[in-house]
Amino acid sequence: MNTSTLARSPRVDAGLAVLRVVVGIVFVAHGAQKVFVYGFGGVAGAFGQMGVPVPGITGPAVALLEFLGGIALVVGLLARLAALGLAIDMLGAIVLVHLAGGFFLPKGYEYALTLLGACAALALAGPGAHSLDAMIGRRRAEGPGVR
């Protein structure tokens, strides 16, 4: 079976939707916690204590990326771009914070690595047919005035 046929399979599209929504919910929750509970100042302070470079910029940027990128994954809008950004976010979390803690939680990188893998898969495969990206693509393909 060639990959173009596989990519259009209803099961693959359903699987991508499940992966995208679940991973998106996780990022929305973590981003919302950073934005609305800790605030940008709290996140910047925590990032500074963890040794993250330029915490006054990276802290708020990561908080917004996780919150808005998570929403983008849930609805499937600009999903590849969001997934790429979140994969880079998790790579940074692994390298800068969790690597020294070993593989296993609570201080290790296994959770961040799992999210990195999921985001990389979504960035490569795309959001699937059950997404706003796909809906917009279908409407563009139909042309103007066709609904």
pLDDT at 146: 53
Q: Pick out the chain residues at pLDDT < 70.
A: 1-7, 145-147
pLDDT at 93: 97
Residues 6+ apart with CB under 8 A from 105: 111
Distance (Å, whole) CA 118 – CA 86: 10
Domain residue extents for the chain: 13-142
Total residues belonging to the chain? 147
* Cα-based distances in Å from 41 to 30, 128, 138: 16, 37, 42
pLDDT at 66: 98
Q: Are 44 and 59 in contact (CB under 8 A)?
A: yes
pLDDT at 3: 47
